[in-house]
Structure 1
Amino acid sequence: MKKRRWFIAAGVVVLIGIALFAYIYLFHSYGGSFYTNAHKKSDNASLELNSDANGNGIVNKDEIAQEAEKLAGTLYDPLKGGVNNTGGKLGFIVCIDVPRIAYGKAGISLAGLLKEDYEEHPERYQTERGANTPDTPYFYRRVRNVYDFAEGNGLLIKKAEKPQVGDIVFYSRYHATLVTTVHADGTYNEVEAHPKLIFVQEHKRKKWTPRDVARILK
């Protein structure tokens, strides 16, 4: 009887392992390199992607939205970047990873922007005595750092009256989503990663409530 139970338990473990392997390697919509290899662009070079000499937009906001939508179904990182960013390396994400990955796919490295801004203006960030700097493995996975970056560079709109595609919406300094669609009736879609959701989800036709937003693209 005990031997049979042992075989059943072993079988369950194997099945879970196979399912996890399939999820990470077969069904994932992006590469884990987004967590370990920050883009090397400068903040000026990245921000210049917003427009050409005539002021015409170069980065396609719809591309950012589409990349964010592809993340739907991705598992939330229960470790929230802890334990040497193990969850991130496995491809799990936290809330701020949604805009970070979507912008990265479209050619703008939020990690690169934060890194260079920190190097020039470390006083803008809560360094926590060295525990929150670009040298730590999850500096780029903290909402408050993106908030501080946006505020310090004039990209933060407080209590925005209307959302725009590509807006990073702050529900606090510790949670954020990404706007993917704005409908004619004023409602909007957003992609959200949250521990209560377990999987990344897209919420459709939400009624807008004025919130602080980071508007990286004008």
Structure 2
Amino acid sequence: ISKGDAKAVVDWLHGRGLEFYLESNTGLFASENFRERARETMKIYAMNRGKTAEEVAHQEVEDVLHGLVFDGELYRDDLNKISFVLDSYQDHLDSKYAFPQLVANTWGGRGETALFGDLGVKDIDKAHAIEVLLEHLGAKKEDTIAFGDAKIDIPMLEYCAVGVAMGNGGAEILAMADMVTDDVEHDGLYNAFEKLGLLSIQ
């Protein structure tokens, strides 16, 4: 993300009163009140990923986002993505309109749950990352299997030879997948590995 775009997004988020953190190769940099605003949202996120209410009762934001830096420089030229706590889904829709040069998504820990919005670089997605990795490893596309549970994972499932949707996934990914396995909390990965012949008993 260019420094100009980063500054524009940070100013836009501040103007709307939305708390956020910046993702760069050198760290995670949080807005002034991110800890307080994101605390309960991060608990919901953790529960969506299988934790119990008791397990997250004393959870802090830093327990999920390790190494989060407060009081850091927010106008940066080394950003890959900017994530922000959604006050409403409209915040996400408005971010798409305000920054058409960036790609806007949502995430929340399970399927299509929208707890956070994010803005990132266009044409850089999980499918592209797999393509780069395969080239680096000298591996073949026909040997790839992708697992996902959200709309953002669809390009990855489309790219790989086999696309597996987790049972807890959203409607769109369930409809397009080559295979649907159980929820991640109900041994979905193990069951899919078994069905695909990836497990062998030694």
TM-score by length of 2: 0.28
Structure number with greater CO (CA < 8 Å, separation at least 6) is 1
State TM-score, norm by structure 1: 0.26
